[in-house]
Structure 1
Amino acid sequence: MSMRNWLAAPLLWVVAFAAQAQEKSYAYWNMPKGVTEISRDVYGLHMLIFWVVVVIGVGVFAAFFYSIWAHRRSRNPKPATFHESTTVEIVWTVIPFLILIAMAIPATGTLIKIEDSSDAEMTVKVTGYQWMWGYEYVGEDVSFISRLDRASDRARQVGSGIDPRTVENYLLEVDNRLVIPTDTKVRFLLTSNDVIHSWWVPEFGMKRDAIPGFINEMWARVDEPGVYRGQCTELCGRDHGFMPVVVEAVPPAEFERWLAEQKGESGAAEAAPAAAGTEVAAAEAGTTTDAAVDAGNEAADEAAAAAPLDKAELMTAGEKAYKANCVACHQASGEGMPPAFPSLVGSSVVNGETAQYITQVLNGKNAMPPFGHLSDKEIAGVVTYTRNSWGNESGPVQPGDVAALRQ
């Protein structure tokens, strides 16, 4: 092969690889600029230091190769006799010092900004569990668990026969997204229920560890509506790779509507028929005052809560709650993933004392997170479902039994 071919071959390979990369839209060759002020500042620092390093590298290697060429033995058979140069020592000490100062000033300003979570307009508490995230909108009485979505969870199982490439956003989608408003300073309080986790969304430009017994803070003000995905970046156990973070940023008005819907899910729909009946009764009696309606609503709610549910209704509600909250760890067959998540088939806990089982579901135990955020009906349903499936045979558990054991 001629010298021209030797030189052309690597060049053609680089061009072909670059074209392939462009075709596949490889966006991970560099860190993202992000959608927050902090992320853009971090990106700017990254690029500034990158080009400083490039200039230094070019200068050092240019001097290196020039020295090899200019002072080769064939041109200078007699070596120089000088030993040191005070001027050179001062120059190559002062210049790096000035470069470090020039980089430290903007970096320090960005670090101060990163740590300043004051004047936040809303606060979200983020709790890490093995292997899911709990979100609580502080002061809004809204909380939920966010875990890997069912499509990804099915595809990741050994022997599933599902090609992960056919699953959209494989391992980067959840069943419940964290929804936040745009153009709003949101403070995140991060902690953990079991081991160290780390909450990370690349487009936000920051991440923070979630440590048991500690509260860490970070904040973000998202400029653009959209869905932003991340992952747990701390090795937190065997299913560490299946703990994604998905944040959906929406305009403030849309967020307020979403928040109102979340607040209304905890019984507003069930209370509506009772309220309507109370208003009719009050109208017939000629007492349509607000006080009478409120009193009737309270009485109707108490009566509805006290009324026992039949086993079929509990099994239906329980199967739905189990698939949404338990199947990722205990599997659809109930066989679990021992030793962290034991089998529920023939379990002494599941088939044992009812109060003990309900308490464990409410408060959690070992690797099992607490599920006290679920309604009494959902917990009664999932307890009934697991106690009467896969060969287990026990009677139904009522929502009142759960309410009596809440602390």
Structure 2
Amino acid sequence: MTSIYKKILQVLFLATLPLTVLADWGLNMREGVTPISQKVYDMHMVSLWVVTIIGIVVFGIMFWSIFHHRKSRGVKPAKFSHSTTVEIIWTAIPLLIIIGLAIPATKLLIEMDDTSDTALTVKAVGYQWKWKYEYLEDDLTIYSNLDEKSVELSQRVDSVNPMEHPDYLLDVDEPLVLPTNTKIRILTTANDVIHAWWVPDLGWKRDAIPGFINDNWTMINEPGTYRGQCAEICGKGHGYMPIVVKAVSMDEYKTWVAEKKQEQVAAAEASSKEMSMEELMTKGEAVYKANCLACHQANGEGVQGVFPAIAGSQLATKPENLQAHITQIIYGKNLMPAFGEQLNDGDIASVVTYTRNAFGNDTGDVVQAADVAAERK
């Protein structure tokens, strides 16, 4: 059987399937879960029907004219140069259609930019390749990284199928938690290169540009988890920078904020204590996977010509470079961002200890939080 016949049979088979089976094949935009996203969807549908009707009318007239005035019927072409009446009509009607669409679209754009009367403000800062969220009213800051399972699968070189993870490259370790039925202002900016914060269910996208702050607002009607991604190509790890918004009730949100603050205080207190080599290695491996693996790779070999190797490097193996190793993680260098504000002293101490004793380095060096604190300016 030729390929053309196979394709015809496939089309006929799909045509016999119930619509529920084809639900995932939808080509239309999603309606979303916010007032703005629903209005954008309604505006889209109105515009779609207008252009569809125009297309049917225009092509219908064109095909009818071609068929009924074809040469084989002996039709003689009319001889005229133009019709002023027709020209006025085909200019006025499109103009009225455009004005009719422009008025509600302009009102919607104005409403999308109206960030007044918001109850909560969140600042989203793009990094290569993670998001930092600052809850300005609640004095809380979290960093949102790609989830560990996706990181692990992205580094595998065997025949494992990463799509077995249902949210591969779409999940994070710390989602952005927001209360429902609350008008929330979201500020977007970036620390290094241009990013873009985009969650389709919210109905809008905003660029995150270093040195600039863009703003928008949202009000999520339904509790749930809504996923998005950085929508601006921001470098090698662009595809590993998802966004996850978790919408909960206001009471659940307040409870989460209180618990998160307690966790951060406890983590800061724990980080200041001395740890054994085993504890440092275990914690350092987790910190490395969350913050370093995307560039330096799971084996510490890096990416040739772009990201230097840690395995066997002088920085991570020479005793005299220990201080420089710590300060480079705190303040960054070249493409490497400054992790001083992202990680506490205990986290940095553990990842330095880990990288100096993993990947075959085996220096035996043990770094404590006090050593890191001494290097901060």
TM-score by length of structure 1 reads 0.82
Matched, 1:16 2:14: yes
Aligned-partner Cα distance in 2 for 1:392–1:196: 38
Partner of 2:367: 397
SS state of the match for residue 353, structure 2? Answer: helix
Check conservation: 1:344, 1:350, Cα contact below 8 A.
Answer: yes
Aligned-partner Cα distance in 2 for 1:142–1:350: 33
Please, which of 336, 339, 350 is the counterpart of residue 368 of structure 1? 336
Check conservation: 1:130, 1:367, Cα contact below 8 A.
Answer: no
- Give the direction of change, closer, same or farther, for the CA distance of 1:16–1:335 in structure 2 (3 Å limit): same
Matched letter for residue 227 of structure 1: T
Partner of 1:149: 147
SS state of the match for residue 67, structure 2? Answer: helix
Aligned-partner Cα distance in 1 for 2:132–2:304: 23
Deviates more, 1:152-161 or 1:103-112: 152-161
**Gap regions ≥5 residues in structure 1:** 1-8, 272-300
Matched letter for residue 310 of structure 2: L
Partner of 1:288: none
Check conservation: 1:126, 1:133, Cα contact below 8 A.
Answer: yes
Superposition deviation, residue 338 in structure 1: 3.3
**Gap regions ≥5 residues in structure 2:** 1-6
Check conservation: 1:266, 1:375, Cα contact below 8 A.
Answer: no
Matched, 1:387 2:352: no
Aligned-partner Cα distance in 1 for 2:248–2:236: 34
Aligned-partner Cα distance in 1 for 2:132–2:266: 23
Superposition deviation, residue 97 in structure 1: 0.4
- Give the direction of change, closer, same or farther, for the CA distance of 1:83–1:308 in structure 2 (3 Å limit): closer
Matched letter for residue 254 of structure 1: E
Please, which of 314, 337, 356 is the counterpart of residue 348 of structure 1? 314
Check conservation: 1:136, 1:142, Cα contact below 8 A.
Answer: yes
Partner of 2:3: none
Please, which of 300, 320, 330 is the counterpart of residue 334 of structure 1? 300
Aligned-partner Cα distance in 2 for 1:88–1:154: 66
SS state of the match for residue 205, structure 2? Answer: strand
Aligned-partner Cα distance in 1 for 2:56–2:47: 14
Deviates more, 1:198-207 or 1:338-347: 338-347
Check conservation: 1:154, 1:160, Cα contact below 8 A.
Answer: no
Check conservation: 2:151, 2:289, Cα contact below 8 A.
Answer: no
Superposition deviation, residue 21 in structure 1: 6.6
Partner of 1:132: 130
Matched letter for residue 228 of structure 1: Y
RMSD: 2.6
Q: Highest CA radius of gyration, 1 or 2?
A: 1
SS state of the match for residue 19, structure 1? Answer: coil
Partner of 1:316: 282
Check conservation: 2:268, 2:344, Cα contact below 8 A.
Answer: no
Check conservation: 2:39, 2:108, Cα contact below 8 A.
Answer: yes
- Give the direction of change, closer, same or farther, for the CA distance of 1:128–1:21 in structure 2 (3 Å limit): farther
Check conservation: 1:231, 1:245, Cα contact below 8 A.
Answer: yes
Aligned-partner Cα distance in 1 for 2:69–2:227: 55
Partner of 1:298: none
Structure 1 segment 265-276 matched on structure 2, within 5 A? 265-268=263-266
Superposition deviation, residue 139 in structure 1: 4.1
Check conservation: 1:334, 1:345, Cα contact below 8 A.
Answer: yes
- Give the direction of change, closer, same or farther, for the CA distance of 1:79–1:267 in structure 2 (3 Å limit): closer
Check conservation: 2:316, 2:361, Cα contact below 8 A.
Answer: no
- Give the direction of change, closer, same or farther, for the CA distance of 1:122–1:364 in structure 2 (3 Å limit): farther
Superposition deviation, residue 270 in structure 1: 8.1
Check conservation: 2:155, 2:297, Cα contact below 8 A.
Answer: no
SS state of the match for residue 115, structure 2? Answer: coil
TM-score by length of structure 2 reads 0.89
| % identity of equivalent residues | 50
Aligned-partner Cα distance in 2 for 1:268–1:182: 28
- What count of residue pairs does the alignment treat as equivalent? 367
- Give the direction of change, closer, same or farther, for the CA distance of 1:384–1:96 in structure 2 (3 Å limit): same
- Give the direction of change, closer, same or farther, for the CA distance of 1:61–1:269 in structure 2 (3 Å limit): closer
Superposition deviation, residue 61 in structure 1: 0.7
Structure 1 segment 286-325 matched on structure 2, within 5 A? 305=272, 308-325=274-291
Partner of 1:5: none
Matched letter for residue 364 of structure 1: G
Aligned-partner Cα distance in 1 for 2:349–2:285: 11
Superposition deviation, residue 154 in structure 1: 2.7
Matched, 1:121 2:119: yes
